[in-house]
Structure 1
Amino acid sequence: MNPTLTTGAFGLRVPRGFFTRLWLLVALLAALVNAGSMVSIDPVRRLQQTRALWTSEPEIRPEEANLFGTLAYDGKRHAYFGLGQPLVFLPFDIAVTTTLDPARRHVPVSSQVLDALRLILIAFFSQTLVCGLAACFAYLLLRQLKFAHAPAALGTLSLLLATTFLHYIQNCQENSLMLAMALAGGFFTLRWFDHRQWRDAVWAGAAFGFSFLTRLTTLADAAGIVLCLLLLLLWDTRNMKTTAAALLAYAKAFTPAFAVFLLIERLYQYHRFWTFRGTYYTPFLEPPPSTDSSGNMFNNPLLAGVKEALWTPQNSIFLFDPLLVITLLALGVLWRQLEPRVRAFALGAAATLTVYIYFYATYMSPTGEISWGDRYTETPVLLLCLLAVPLLWTSRHRISTAWRGLAIAVISWSVILQIASILLIPSIEVLQWRRLNLPWSIPRRFINIWLAISGQGPSIPYHGPLPPEWQQLSLLPFQLGLRFGALQPYAVGAWCVLLIIALVLLGQIVHQCLREDRAWATH
Structure 2
Amino acid sequence: MAINQQQHWKSVTYPALITAITTILISTGSLNSIDTLHRLQVTRSLWTDAPQVIEEVLPDDVANKSTAFSGVVTYSVIGRDQKRYVTWGIGQSLVMLPTDIMAQTLINAISPEQPVSKTSSEVSAQSQSQYSHPQPKVVGIVSYLTFPLINVLAIIASFYLLKNLEFTTSQSIYGALSLLFCTTFLHYSQTHQENSLDFLLTTSGYLFHLLWLTTNSYKFLCLGMLSLGFNLLVRLTLAINLISVNIFTISSLYLQTKIQTYSKNAGDRHRSRQKTIFKYLAIAAIVYGSFLGMDRFYHWLRFDNFTGTYTGIWTEQVKAIFPELPKSFPFSTPFMDGFLGFFFSPNRSIFLFNPLILVTLYISIKHWQELSYKLRTFLLSLVFLLFATIITYSTWFLWGGAGAWGNRYTTTASQLISFLAIPLALKFIFKIPLAPIHGSLFKKLEKLGLILITIVSSIIQISSIIFDPNLELLQFKSLQNDALLFNVIQDQPLMFTVGQRLINVMALLTNNFDNWGLRPNLVSLEQSQKLITLAFFPWLNASRIFSTNIVVIIQICWFILLLILLYLLFKLITNTNHNEIDINSDINSDRQSN
Task: Name the TM-score, length of structure 2 as normaliser.
Answer: 0.80
Counterparts of 1:463 and 1:337, CA distance in 2 = 52
Greater C-alpha Rg: 2
Match of 2:418 among 357, 365, 385: 385
Aligned partner letter, 1:262: L
Residue in 2 that maps onto 1:271: 301
Query: Using a 3 Å threshold, how does the CA distance of structure 1 residues 45 and 361 change in structure 2: closer, same or farther?
Result: same
Deviations, residues 363-415 of structure 1 (Å, cap 9, x unaligned): 01112011111110011111111211111111135982321221111111111
1:185-224 aligned at under 5 Å gives the runs 185-224=205-244
Residue in 2 that maps onto 1:3: none
Match of 2:203 among 166, 172, 183: 183
Residue in 1 that maps onto 2:157: 137
Counterparts of 1:209 and 1:367, CA distance in 2 = 25
Residue in 1 that maps onto 2:463: 420
Tell me if structure 2 keeps the 8 A contact 1:284–1:297. no
Query: Using a 3 Å threshold, how does the CA distance of structure 1 residues 459 and 61 change in structure 2: closer, same or farther?
Result: farther
Aligned partner letter, 1:498: L
Query: Using a 3 Å threshold, how does the CA distance of structure 1 residues 135 and 339 change in structure 2: closer, same or farther?
Result: same
Residue 42 in 1 paired to residue 35 in 2? yes
SS at match of 1:142: helix
Which runs of 5 or more residues in structure 1 are unaligned?
Answer: 1-6
Tell me if structure 1 keeps the 8 A contact 2:170–2:577. yes
Counterparts of 1:294 and 1:37, CA distance in 2 = 38
Match of 1:150 among 167, 170, 177: 170
Residue in 1 that maps onto 2:377: 344
Q: CA deviation at 1:90?
A: 0.5
Query: Using a 3 Å threshold, how does the CA distance of structure 1 residues 383 and 273 change in structure 2: closer, same or farther?
Result: same
Moved more, 130-139 or 256-265: 256-265
Aligned partner letter, 1:182: T
Q: How many residues are paired up? A: 512
Counterparts of 1:217 and 1:318, CA distance in 2 = 23
SS at match of 2:7: strand
Residue in 2 that maps onto 1:510: 573
Residue in 2 that maps onto 1:262: 292
Tell me if structure 1 keeps the 8 A contact 2:356–2:453. yes
Aligned partner letter, 2:472: E
Counterparts of 2:473 and 2:39, CA distance in 1 = 22
1:17-416 aligned at under 5 Å gives the runs 17-63=10-56, 64-66=71-73, 68-105=75-112, 115-238=135-258, 243-284=273-314, 293-294=326-327, 296-397=329-430, 400-416=443-459
Task: Give me the CA root mean square deviation.
Answer: 2.8
Aligned partner letter, 1:506: L
Tell me if structure 2 keeps the 8 A contact 1:149–1:516. no
Q: CA deviation at 1:193?
A: 1.4
Aligned partner letter, 2:91: G
Moved more, 65-74 or 150-159: 65-74
Aligned partner letter, 1:81: W
Tell me if structure 1 keeps the 8 A contact 2:478–2:520. no
Aligned partner letter, 2:411: E
Residue in 2 that maps onto 1:4: none
SS at match of 1:62: coil
Counterparts of 1:268 and 1:459, CA distance in 2 = 52
Counterparts of 1:498 and 1:291, CA distance in 2 = 53
Tell me if structure 2 keeps the 8 A contact 1:137–1:187. yes
Aligned partner letter, 2:307: R
Counterparts of 1:361 and 1:519, CA distance in 2 = 42
Tell me if structure 2 keeps the 8 A contact 1:480–1:488. no
Residue in 2 that maps onto 1:439: 495
Counterparts of 1:183 and 1:66, CA distance in 2 = 34
Counterparts of 2:533 and 2:271, CA distance in 1 = 62
Q: CA deviation at 1:235?
A: 2.7
Counterparts of 2:411 and 2:77, CA distance in 1 = 25
Query: Using a 3 Å threshold, how does the CA distance of structure 1 residues 435 and 315 change in structure 2: closer, same or farther?
Result: farther
Deviations, residues 126-145 of structure 1 (Å, cap 9, x unaligned): 11121111111101111111
Q: CA deviation at 1:258?
A: 2.3
Query: Using a 3 Å threshold, how does the CA distance of structure 1 residues 173 and 507 change in structure 2: closer, same or farther?
Result: same
Counterparts of 1:242 and 1:116, CA distance in 2 = 57
Query: Using a 3 Å threshold, how does the CA distance of structure 1 residues 510 and 247 change in structure 2: closer, same or farther?
Result: farther
Which runs of 5 or more residues in structure 2 are unaligned?
Answer: 57-70, 114-130, 259-268, 432-441, 481-493, 589-594
Q: CA deviation at 1:245?
A: 4.1
Deviations, residues 402-459 of structure 1 (Å, cap 9, x unaligned): 2122111111111111110000111111233345367111121022123334443345
Residue 489 in 1 paired to residue 532 in 2? no
Aligned partner letter, 1:449: V
Tell me if structure 2 keeps the 8 A contact 1:286–1:296. no
Moved more, 314-323 or 458-467: 458-467
Q: CA deviation at 1:92?
A: 0.5
Q: Percent of aligned positions with the same letter in both sequences?
A: 28
Which structure is higher in RCO with an 8 Å CA cutoff and minimum separation 6?
2
Aligned partner letter, 1:509: L
Q: CA deviation at 1:118?
A: 1.7
Tell me if structure 2 keeps the 8 A contact 1:234–1:240. no
Deviations, residues 302-340 of structure 1 (Å, cap 9, x unaligned): 000012211011110000001111001011111000011
Q: CA deviation at 1:237?
A: 3.4
Match of 1:456 among 482, 491, 512: 512
Aligned partner letter, 1:445: R
Counterparts of 2:194 and 2:85, CA distance in 1 = 18
Moved more, 472-481 or 159-168: 472-481
Tell me if structure 2 keeps the 8 A contact 1:151–1:394. yes
Tell me if structure 1 keeps the 8 A contact 2:11–2:169. no
SS at match of 1:426: coil
SS at match of 1:70: strand
SS at match of 2:184: coil
Tell me if structure 1 keeps the 8 A contact 2:333–2:394. yes
Aligned partner letter, 1:408: I
SS at match of 1:137: helix
Q: CA deviation at 1:153?
A: 1.0
Counterparts of 1:431 and 1:170, CA distance in 2 = 20
Moved more, 24-33 or 325-334: 24-33
